Amino acid sequence: MEETTKEYELLCILSPRLEGEDLDKAKNEIVELVQKAGGTINFKESSKKPLAYPINKEGQGIFLISQVSILPEKVTELVKELKTDKQILRYLINHLKAIKEEQKAPKAIKKPQAKPQKTQPEAKPAEPKPSEETLKEIDKKLDEIIGDI
């Protein structure tokens, strides 16, 4: 049975105090850890950013984003090695295929449910307004009726 390597994204947050040669040394140590586990690494991005919350009393960290090609069985070995490195404040390993599948998968779109429409009573045809003459006639008849009472 042939074993194949899988692609992972490795994010490491390093101490912000690392600069110049110390930062290069820390990167080389990460490369050695990956190679020791039988994988290859390719760094994509490196930048110093503020942290959402302090880690080991540090308010900033150097974010190293890299792509790692390694056997799935060796990932746990790599994790153990990353835990022991004191310069790495935090790390995260994501399987790239899983990330790409999430991005490709269409998101379920909820269709709005049809609301029952309110039925409005039928509008009666508008009756013509009585003219002034008819109103005067009606007033006279009412006066006659009231006077008889």
Tokens 């009726």 correspond to what residue?
A: 145
Count of C-beta atoms within a 10 Å radius of residue 30: 24
Residue 117 inside a domain? The answer is no
pLDDT tens digits for range 34-78: 898 888 888 888 888 998 888 888 889 999 999 999 888 888 888
Enumerate residues 6+ apart whose C-beta is below 8 A from 10.
30, 34, 41, 64, 65, 66, 67, 68, 91, 92, 93
Residue 82: per-residue pLDDT: 87
Tell me whether residue 97 is in a domain. Answer: yes
Q: CB within 8 A of 1, min separation 6: which ones? A: none
Its domain, for residue 47, covers 6-104
Whole-number pLDDT of residue 101: 62
The number of folded domains in the chain is 1
pLDDT, position 1 = 42
pLDDT over threshold 60, residue 2: no
Examine residue 47 and state whether it is found in any structural domain, yes or no. yes
pLDDT tens across 82-121, in order? Answer: 888 888 899 999 988 765 566 666 666 676 776 767 776 6
In a domain, 125, yes or no: no
In a domain, 67, yes or no: yes
**Does 127 reside within a domain?**
no
Bridge partners, residue 9, by sequence: 67, 94
CATH for 94: 3.30.70.60
